[in-house]
């Protein structure tokens, strides 16, 4: 993992805050996600469903990516942009299954809405932050706890 990426992840690793940071603003995050999802829909001309029925997790939602954008869709995989509760972090699940153009566009839209993209490959590294018993950075910021 690049030092810059690790520093970003450490920046939001607040002690005793497993699910949300101390200054978590739910309403602002909801609005940011809605605006970004609207832009994705406008650009691609497809519906991106927001799945925010999440509890006991360090992430807010999955924005489901339509199968039309997946090169070879497989059943029962969660193709999505996952939004963390921490620092506006975002990742794309199964990134290797989309065209380079699709990934590039999604990342540009994330950036326009001030989300910080972190690749799953970087998140799938050993967690070395403030908590014990968290195996990876992916679980710290983008999973159920």
What's the pTM?
Answer: 0.95
CA nearest neighbour of 65 among 30, 31, 104, 95: 95
Please give the pLDDT value at position 144.
94
Please give the pLDDT value at position 145.
85
- For the chain (145 residues), the mean pLDDT of every run of 10, in chain order, is 94 94 96 98 98 96 98 93 97 96 98 97 94 94 94
Bridge partners, residue 80, by sequence? 64
Q: Give, as one character, the DSSP assignment of residue 53.
A: -
CA nearest neighbour of 25 among 87, 110, 83, 81: 87
Burial of residue 65, with CB atoms counted within 10 A of its CB: 0-12 exposed, 13-18 middle, 19 or more buried: buried
Please give the pLDDT value at position 1.
85
CA nearest neighbour of 109 among 26, 31, 41, 8: 41
């Amino acid at each position: 993992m690049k030092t810059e990426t690790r520093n970003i992840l450490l920046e939001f690793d607040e002690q005793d805050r497993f699910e949300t940071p101390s200054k978590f603003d739910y309403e602002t995050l909801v609005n940011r996600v809605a605006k970004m999802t609207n832009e994705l829909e406008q650009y691609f001309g497809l519906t991106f469903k927001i799945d925010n029925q999440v509890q006991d997790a360090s992430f807010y939602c999955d924005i489901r990516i339509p199968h039309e954008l997946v090169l070879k869709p497989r059943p029962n995989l969660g193709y999505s942009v996952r939004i963390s509760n921490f620092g506006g972090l975002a990742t794309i699940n199964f990134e290797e299954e989309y065209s380079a153009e699709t990934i590039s566009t999604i990342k540009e839209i994330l950036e326009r809405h001030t989300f910080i993209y972190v690749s799953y490959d970087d998140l799938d590294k050993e967690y070395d932050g403030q908590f014990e018993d968290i195996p990876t950075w992916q679980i710290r910021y983008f999973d159920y706890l």
